[in-house]
Amino acid sequence: MFESVYGIYEWGLDAIRFIQQFSNPVTYSILYFFTFLGNPISYIVFLSIIYLCIDEKKAVKLAYTAAFAVSLNTFIKDLLKVPRPYVRDVSLKTFEEDGYSTPSGHAQTSSAFWIVLAPMIKTKHTKTRNLIIGIIIFLIGLSRVFFAVHYPTDVLAGWVIGVCIALLVLFFWDKLTPSFNKLPHSFKMLCIFLPVAFFLVFKPEHTSVLAIMFSIPAGFLYLQNKGGFDAASGTVVQKILRLLFGYATTAVLYYVLGLVVPEKANPNYRLLHFAHMALCGGWFAYAVPLLCIKMKLAAGKNNE
């Protein structure tokens, strides 16, 4: 058994060596772009634009999908504890990444996110849309092998898990939403928190993503109780101002609250860091839309 696993890793290293033969400034830049496209900051930008400017409900669906994919990925990685390829062969190293190797978080999150996003993009050219999304997912995964931060098998595993997450979301989300909306507010909050609580119990060190996984849907739930927010409303200028206001105020809040978060060695770090990130996520999901409505930069749902 161990020999077969070792053989898979050796095959993976050979595959990385083969792909890196094609390294040049052009391929490096292209694949680095796709690796960046799979980084958290890219999802934050995509989701914030969708949430404040296009469709707030779809943004929450996508945010929860991405956050769950990341949380599950780190949970599996910490269980398997597979070192990254460049640890086995330093000559392949291009840059370092935190955490373990299997499965690929970029592959898992990108496949879950983009597959759920696909049907939201309304077009007559569905085959072209699906092809473009497939290429994006493929190149994000390929970039991780090229940079020797993942084995090919890590990427394959990430794709499989990500597709499974996407299929579950596509099949169940809209079907369960009407039943969820009928629940008392306290039960809704419990449903939002339970998956987060599971990951907090078993992997409490991953507080940032878990805080977002809780605060975005929770903030949106409170926003609906206040009458809702219509992301599609307003002019292009108003939408740009919404984004600038949201980014600026959230950045200030992030900085100010960060001043009271202690060092990681402090026993209260995880709790306070979770609260820090949850408040920032809640601010963006709840307070920013409400303030935009008050500043006449957006309309509430009940104003339609």
> Which pLDDT score is estimated for 94?
85
**Are 145 and 151 within 8 A, CB to CB?**
yes
Query: Could you tell me if residue 15 is inside a domain?
Result: no
Same domain, 105 and 151: yes
Same domain, 65 and 106: yes
Q: Which two tokens stand for residue 141?
A: 């995964």
Query: Could you tell me if residue 21 is inside a domain?
Result: no
Backbone φ and ψ of 230, nearest 5°: -105, 100
Same domain, 36 and 166: yes
Same domain, 127 and 240: no
Same domain, 169 and 50: yes
Query: Could you tell me if residue 8 is inside a domain?
Result: no
Same domain, 126 and 215: no
Same domain, 133 and 162: yes
One-letter amino acid for residue 276 of the chain: H
Q: What tens digit of pLDDT does each residue of 74-131 get?
A: 999 989 898 999 888 788 888 888 888 899 999 999 999 999 999 999 889 999 999 9
> Which pLDDT score is estimated for 235?
93
* Number of structural domains the chain divides into: 2
> Which pLDDT score is estimated for 6?
61
- Please, what is the average pLDDT of the chain? 91
> Which pLDDT score is estimated for 10?
86
Same domain, 36 and 140: yes
Same domain, 110 and 197: no
CATH of the domain at 120: 1.20.144.10
> Which pLDDT score is estimated for 237?
96
Which of 46, 52, 55 minimizes the C-alpha distance to 113?
46
Same domain, 148 and 193: no
Which residue range(s) make up the domain with 278? 183-202+210-304
**Are 60 and 216 within 8 A, CB to CB?**
yes
Query: Could you tell me if residue 18 is inside a domain?
Result: no
The 10 Å Cβ neighbour count of residue 231 is 24
Same domain, 161 and 42: yes
Q: What tens digit of pLDDT does each residue of 196-234 get?
A: 998 888 777 778 889 999 999 999 999 998 888 999 999
Which three-class secondary structure state does DSSP give residue 18?
helix
Query: Could you tell me if residue 218 is inside a domain?
Result: yes
Query: Could you tell me if residue 9 is inside a domain?
Result: no
Determine the Cα angle at 49 with ends 131 and 60, to 5°. 85
Q: How confident is the model at residue 2 (pLDDT cuts 50, 70, 90)?
A: very low
Task: Indicate the residue among 130, 154, 174 that finishes a domain.
Answer: 174
Q: How far is CA 260 from CA 255, 275, 281, in A?
A: 10, 11, 17
- The residue that leads in pLDDT, 40 or 161, is 161
Which of 128, 166, 158 minimizes the C-alpha distance to 142?
158
Query: Could you tell me if residue 303 is inside a domain?
Result: yes
Same domain, 33 and 170: yes
Listing DSSP states for 220-263 in one string gives HHHHHHTT--BTT-S-HHHHHHHHHHHHHHHHHHHHHHHTT---
Query: Could you tell me if residue 23 is inside a domain?
Result: no
**Are 227 and 292 within 8 A, CB to CB?**
no
Which of 212, 166, 205, 206 minimizes the C-alpha distance to 71?
206
